[in-house]
Structure 1
Amino acid sequence: MTSPWAALAVLFTARLAMAFQYQVVASLGPLFMDRHGTNLADLGILISLYLLPGLVFALPGGGIAQRFGDRRVVASGLVVMVLGGLIMWQGQSWSLQILGRLLAGTGGVLLNVIMTKMVADWFAGRNLATAMGIFVNSWPAGIALALLLLPLIAQAGGLNAALATSMVLCIAGLALMTLAYRDPPASPGGTMPSGSWPRNSALTGILIAGCVWGLYNGALAMVFAFGPAFLVERGAALTQASGISSLVLWLAVVSVPAGGLIGDRIRRPNAVLLAGLAGFAVTFALALLAPSLPVFILMGLICGLPAGPIMALPGRVLRPETRALGMGIFFTLYYFWMAVLPALSGALSEQVGSAAVAFQLGILLLALAALGTLGLTRHRAQAA
């Protein structure tokens, strides 16, 4: 395989399997609670456990890839995901569900960190924002696919059939990675040189880029985590509120790759990034003033535009020999912000007594992400 787009298709499929596996618990929550006698709080913990290993493994994941090679470590991560899925599929106790979820999430962390670096290796200097937009789109696409298929599969064959489906998708990703994927021609393809820790301007750049990505995703989390509660406060029925909030995710499947494509076509990805952040903030404000279906449709069409250009930032600040550890730093910051911000928003909303605080916080997060982007642009100009 020598085509960058064919390689991207393999990486997209593997990450889609990760997103599909992540969504299993949320999509089948009532079935998990019925089987194990748990409550919503337990379910929330099980959902969050998938991303928790990122705080521990994101940074060393880059070093592991340097030592053993990208493709080998990604394949190992998929094996761990399959093992975690197998434990959840066959495990009858809640403790085994927790163990399986943590294992699956650990494998997913390795995928997230290393495959992003692999995309940058294939597309560095050409169509990078477009490729990153497509790659990042694997996450909402996988979640949307899980929302569509898992309830139908569970209805026909029960919870075990749905869990097995997720595991089979991970196995398919593993097969593609081991049998079809090859390293890019210009890639070292194995052990990276020693002393490849980002330094000076590169380290500053990746720290800023990681914060921008974390803040942006924190703003997105405000929509999916607190949008239904906010709309219910404004008079919507729960089913209607959930449907309107989920519509943002479906439309993001379109807007995420569009942002990367537009940025590359006009050769101004940062302009698309900043415009997308500003437009997303405006839709938050419109939702606070007059929450309605058209506002959330507009939010979905705009919110994904910054994703591809943001994910292209590490490829622009890191040299090939620093990408593995650099992406570990990038994703460690992402997992940190994603652990802190939803909890902070929930505490503030509880204190104020309204989920509208989450949307107000979303505006602030997007403003901080824009400032970070401007700061990174200035930093790169000074370092050049």
Structure 2
Amino acid sequence: MRNRWGILAILFVVRLTIAFQFQSVAAVAPLLQGSFGVGIADIGILIGLYFTPGIVLALPSGAIGRALGDKPTTILALLLMTAGSLVMATTDIWGWQMAGRLASGAGGVLLTVQLTKMATDWFAGREIATAMAIFVNSWPVGVGISLLVLPSIGTAYGAGAVFLAAGVLTAIGIALIMFYQPPPAVTVGAAASGWPDALALLAVIVAGMIWGLYNIAFAMIFSFGPTLLTERGWSIAAAGSAISVVMWLSVISVPAGGYLADRGKPFVLTIAASLVVAALLAWMSRSDAVITILILGGLVGGLPAGPMMSLAARVLAPETRALGMGVFYTLFYAAMMLGPALAGRLAKSAGTAAAAFDLGALTVLACLPLMLLFERIVSVRERRARS
């Protein structure tokens, strides 16, 4: 296939398998607690383990992709994800659940970095913002599908069937990626592996922290939302369907945020939307107006995604992009590993999953001074470049 929008469709579907697999634990968390005799803190650790390999693998993932090639690297990543799901589907030992989760996460890291590179190869210099907005939307779509499908599967057939379903989807991804073709060689720029300058590196670090903290907040909704609602008497299936509202609406708000940011003031948009999201998260833990909050969260929560994801690109030249994005993703994965684990412990101490939503509100607020810091660093760097 040589049509770039067809290629993007393939990459979109393959990437959503990561979100679907990530959500497989949170979607049936109450079932896992009952089956394995673990608490909510253990569930938080299991959720966060998916991102743990990213701390080690994010930086070298680009080198692995260059050594093996696009298609072999994605197939390897999907095989790891499939194997991890199969381990989780077939074991009744909690330690093996954690091992399977780590294997899945390792595959997810490789796949995330490689697919991002492949999408950029096809759209660099032409409609890249539109393409990346569509590409990023594969995450909420994958999570939304999992929230609709997996609780019902788990309720009917058990947690093992949920992980088996995730493994089947990643196996389908292997078949689908076989249709991928690289762009014509003339359009693919092989960037050298150079480190960004000091200020650019500092800006990328801050950008990675912003993206990681914001995603912690968003993850609280779909990771601990089902548990919070079941605490209030909702069924597992109903809770999953309700939480999925956020993800489906973010399919609209993510590209809308990118569109508005390209034609307005991205900094103002990001700050305003973040304040609203923080307020909604705090409200969620204290109100029964669940559907209203979830609808507003979906409509507003996706708006900052595009502007935040574009921060690193503002300071990274083509020759520094590989290592710079590795740093960016390393910080993102570190945040996404620690966030759910900390939220699980807080929920255990408080005796309710509502504590996770309060943590999410705080992490969103922490993004605001970091946004100011990022703009300050960029301003100083640009001033030095002119002098």
TM-score band w.r.t. shorter chain: 0.7 to 0.9
Aligned partners of 1:52 and 1:283: how far apart in 2? 28
- The Cα of 1:96 is off from its aligned counterpart by 2.8
Which of 65-74 and 144-153 deviates more? Answer: 65-74
What is the TM-score with the length of structure 2 in the denominator?
A: 0.81
- The Cα of 1:42 is off from its aligned counterpart by 3.6
Tell me which residue corresponds to 1:292.
289
Q: CA distance change for structure 1 residues 373 and 76 in 2, over 3 Å: closer, same or farther? A: same
Asked whether the 8 Å contact 1:205–1:379 carries over to 2, the reply is no
- The Cα of 1:239 is off from its aligned counterpart by 2.6
Q: Secondary structure at the match of 1:111?
A: helix
Aligned partners of 1:286 and 1:39: how far apart in 2? 25
Q: Secondary structure at the match of 1:174?
A: helix
Q: Secondary structure at the match of 2:52?
A: coil
Tell me which residue corresponds to 1:165.
165
Alignment partner for residue 334 of structure 2, among 321, 333, 336?
336
Q: Which runs of 5+ in 2 are unaligned?
A: none
Tell me which residue corresponds to 1:116.
116
Asked whether the 8 Å contact 1:285–1:363 carries over to 2, the reply is no
Tell me which residue corresponds to 2:45.
45
Tell me which residue corresponds to 2:270.
273
Task: Tell me whether 1:239 sits opposite 2:219 in the alignment.
Answer: no
Q: Which runs of 5+ in 1 are unaligned?
A: none
Asked whether the 8 Å contact 2:29–2:227 carries over to 1, the reply is no
- The Cα of 1:301 is off from its aligned counterpart by 0.7
Deviation string 1:203-254 (CA, Å, 9 cap, x unpaired) is: 233223212211221332454556688899xxx9353995765543332232
Asked whether the 8 Å contact 1:129–1:311 carries over to 2, the reply is no
Deviation string 1:165-194 (CA, Å, 9 cap, x unpaired) is: 2112112222222332424655548xx565
- The Cα of 1:10 is off from its aligned counterpart by 1.7
Q: Secondary structure at the match of 1:239?
A: coil
Tell me which residue corresponds to 2:18.
18
Which of 79-88 and 98-107 deviates more? Answer: 79-88
Q: Secondary structure at the match of 2:234?
A: helix
Deviation string 1:273-312 (CA, Å, 9 cap, x unpaired) is: 3443344345457668977343442222111111122223
Asked whether the 8 Å contact 1:117–1:327 carries over to 2, the reply is no
Deviation string 1:346-373 (CA, Å, 9 cap, x unpaired) is: 6778889983743651452232343244
- The Cα of 1:158 is off from its aligned counterpart by 4.7
Count the aligned residue pairs: 378
Aligned partners of 1:121 and 1:339: how far apart in 2? 29
**Aligned ranges for residues 1-384 of structure 1 at < 5 Å?**
1-183=1-183, 185-186=185-186, 188=188, 192=190, 195-224=193-222, 237-239=232-234, 247-264=245-262, 266=263, 269-270=266-267, 272-281=269-278, 283-284=280-281, 292-293=289-290, 294-342=292-340, 355=355, 357-358=358-359, 360-375=361-376, 377-379=378-380, 381-382=382-383, 383=385
Asked whether the 8 Å contact 2:59–2:326 carries over to 1, the reply is yes
Deviation string 1:40-59 (CA, Å, 9 cap, x unpaired) is: 44433322221111112111
Aligned partners of 1:344 and 1:157: how far apart in 2? 30
Asked whether the 8 Å contact 2:13–2:138 carries over to 1, the reply is yes
User: Pairwise CA RMSD of aligned residues?
Assistant: 3.6
Read off the aligned partner of 1:132 and give its amino acid letter. Answer: M
Identity %: 44
Q: Secondary structure at the match of 1:179?
A: coil
